[in-house]
Amino acid sequence: MTALRVVVVGDVMLDVVTRPTAPVAPTSDTPAQASVGRGGSGANVAAALASSGAAVTYVGAVGRDGAAAVVLADLSRDGVRARLEEFDGPTGVVVAIVAPDGQRAMMTDRGVNSRLTTEHVTAALDEPFDHLHVSGYTVLDENTRSVATGALELARRQGASTSVDVCSVAPLRAVGSATFLAAVANASTLFANEEEATTLAERTGLDEALELLSARFAEVVVTRGANGAVARRREQEWRTPATATQVVDTTGAGDAATGAYLGSSLLQVSPEESLAAAMAAAALVVAGVGARD
């Protein structure tokens, strides 16, 4: 059986994740666990898709630096083919500081990600593919929003299925729901966490948000942290509990869930089973430090 061919468009980031293991000493050293490696929401989704058996091509932008080399090596180890546009300038870097409860604060330098071009993405889509997934960071950046919109339009014209992940609530609030929704009108599936979903729908409750978003997208999948996840297709809805028993660091958990769900659903696996796969993937990630399981 030929593997499904999936193209993922998104940021290329080097993740530096640190989890203090003692109270922070502001003017001295603090013991901590740390990891450095491939990051970026889209790349995390791509890796999860590859682990599900899909043939994945990752499209993004990098600088000509050591960080790019680390990212490329990690993508290769994850079984992801990279088509990265090179620029003079820094590869994106995110520093995540993880709290004792596993939640994290992220400080982000997007580097050359804002310079990704339509020409580079279109060239990647010239090859046959079955599905296109676009990271929300590409949509949230005004410099690359048209790149994302154009890619989704092209994929739909070519008969491929499409999906988008909201990715981050703070820039979504800055951009505005109307702008985001207009840019991703050609996406068939929307992925979001609960806060992103309610913000995007401009509703206070998840049920209302799901109803509104389901009128715009054929499928909506919302992760809810410790409360599991929900999938909705028009009037049909499925919910599943979280399965994690140990939470060390939540970095990348939603991305892993997105990739696992997408990898299953593209193979026509039922929503219930796809949600179960998503929660299992997230549980593996939150048990360690960093976005990789």
Q: Is the alpha carbon torsion for 251, 254, 182, 206 positive or negative?
A: negative
The pTM score is 0.90
* Average of per-residue pLDDT across 255-270: 91
Instruction: Copy the structure tokens of residue 111.
Output: 């580097």
- Bridge partners, 240 (sequence order): 229
CB 194 within 8 A of CB 226: no
Question: What's domain 5-24+32-286's superfamily in CATH?
Answer: Ribokinase (3.40.1190.20)
How does the average pLDDT of the chain come out, rounded?
A: 91
What is the helix (H) or strand (E) element at residue 82, kind and residue range? strand 80-87
Q: How much is the pLDDT for 17?
A: 85
Amino acid found at 144? T
* pLDDT classification of 287: cutoffs 50, 70, 90: low
- Bridge partners, 132 (sequence order): 7, 162
Q: Using the structure block, give the residue that is written with the tokens 């992760």.
A: 223
Q: Domain-by-domain residue ranges, the chain?
A: 5-24+32-286
Model confidence pLDDT, tens digit, residues 84-103: 999 999 999 999 888 877 67
CB 291 within 8 A of CB 281: no
Helix (H, G, I), strand (E, B) or coil at 247: coil
- Bridge partners, 231 (sequence order): 221, 238
For residue 117, CA distances in Å to 12, 81, 275 come to 14, 19, 34
Residue 215 phi, psi (nearest 5) = -75, -20
Please report how many Cα atoms fall inside a 13 Å half-sphere around the Cα of residue 147, on the Cβ side: 32
* pLDDT classification of 106: cutoffs 50, 70, 90: confident
| pLDDT at residue 202 greater than cutoff 60 | yes
Model confidence pLDDT, tens digit, residues 1-14: 468 999 999 999 99
- Cα–Cα distance, 76 to 43 (Å, whole number): 11
Helix (H, G, I), strand (E, B) or coil at 137: helix
Q: How much is the pLDDT for 288?
A: 54
Q: What angle do CA 133, 184, 44 make, to 5 degrees?
A: 30
Q: How much is the pLDDT for 19?
A: 84
Burial (0-12, 13-18, 19+ Cβ within 10 Å), 170: exposed
Expressed in percent and rounded to 5, the helix, strand and coil fractions of the chain are 40, 30, 35
Q: What angle do CA 200, 285, 22 make, to 5 degrees?
A: 100
